[in-house]
A = this chain, B = another copy of it.
Amino acid sequence: MEDVGVAGQQIVTAAVLVIGDEILSGRTADRNINYIAAHLTQVGIRLTEVRVVADDEAAIVTAVNELRARYTYLFTTGGIGPTHDDITADSIAKALGVHIGLDPRALELLHAYFEVRGVDATPARLRMARIPHGAMLIRNAISVAPGFMIENVIVLAGVPDVMQVMLDDVTPRLVTGEKMQTATIKLPRPEGDLADLFAAHQETFPDVAMGSYPSFTEGRVSTQLVLRSTNLERLAIARDSLETKLRASGLL
């Protein structure tokens, strides 16, 4: 994590690990990847890799250890509920080589919540208080059972609403880096019309990342040219120069 330092000055990276058989079987469409990606971009953390694995301890442990070593932060979603297929907390403890047990802070939260609602504190429900030793809890303002952060691994719920409040809770505790800024030019033309001009423009501005995204909506072809840089000044120069070239070629 040598690249983490003063906020706003460094490149801070992240991976997301989605844990869940239901995503891989196609039963459920993931709704967390895009939300987390947009959120991290906004706060200045660069999402660099995403993986989806099954509710399988060996698969989770392998992915966690590869990704936490490679990126500043690893966010996981899913597998922290009360049922037997919720094995994320235990798998994280195993990956990190730390003990896991019923956490007194989490137990207190759950008991208070159950008491108010007249719900029995069954062994299954109390499994949601299993937290690896040494973890910080992440607040769940919706259904109380907490997420947690241990070392650089951030463990969030899979239910989108709950994941989102947990992400809001943990974000202020994270180191963030330079924010990626973007400029977009939309053209009512296919990519092929402008690809040569655009490739030459990328060569002129190697420090600005440039991507082209076609879309076909209601039978109409259009292309969005997206320029990305952490340097707003360079971004504006590259965008203005591209617009000038597109106009000169009759493409804009």
**Chain A residues in contact with chain B, CB under 8 A?**
18, 21-30, 33-42, 46-55, 59, 81-86, 119, 122-125, 127, 142, 159, 161, 180, 182, 191-192, 195-196, 198-199, 202, 209-216, 226, 228
Residue of B whose beta carbon sits closest to that of A49: B53
In the complex, what distance in Å separates the CA atom of A161 from the CA atom of B214?
A: 12
Q: List 28 A-B contacts (CB under 8 A).
A: A18-B50, A21-B228, A23-B33, A24-B37, A24-B47, A24-B50, A25-B180, A26-B34, A26-B37, A26-B38, A26-B41, A27-B226, A28-B34, A49-B53, A55-B211, A81-B214, A82-B195, A83-B198, A83-B211, A84-B195, A84-B199, A84-B210, A85-B210, A119-B192, A122-B192, A122-B196, A159-B214, A161-B216
One of B51, B195, B211 near A51 (C-beta < 8 A): B51
Q: A37-B25, A81-B214 in contact; A54/B48 too (CB < 8 A)? A: yes
Contacts of A81 in B (CB 8 A): 191, 212, 214
Contact check, B198 vs A84: say whether CB atoms are below 8 A apart: yes
Contact check, B199 vs A25: say whether CB atoms are below 8 A apart: no
Q: A22-B226, A84-B195, A198-B84 in contact; A28/B213 too (CB < 8 A)? A: yes
Q: A196-B123, A199-B124 in contact; A22/B213 too (CB < 8 A)? A: yes
Contacts of A47 in B (CB 8 A): 24-26
Q: A159-B215, A192-B125 in contact; A25/B52 too (CB < 8 A)? A: no
Contacts of A26 in B (CB 8 A): 34-42, 47
Contact check, B54 vs A51: say whether CB atoms are below 8 A apart: no
Residue of B whose beta carbon sits closest to that of A14: B24
A117 to chain B, nearest CB (A): 10
Contact check, A191 vs B83: say whether CB atoms are below 8 A apart: yes
In the complex, what distance in Å separates the CA atom of A27 from the CA atom of B47?
A: 12
Q: A26-B42, A49-B52, A84-B199 are in contact. List 6 more A-B contacts (CB 8 A).
A: A25-B37, A30-B34, A84-B210, A85-B210, A85-B211, A159-B215
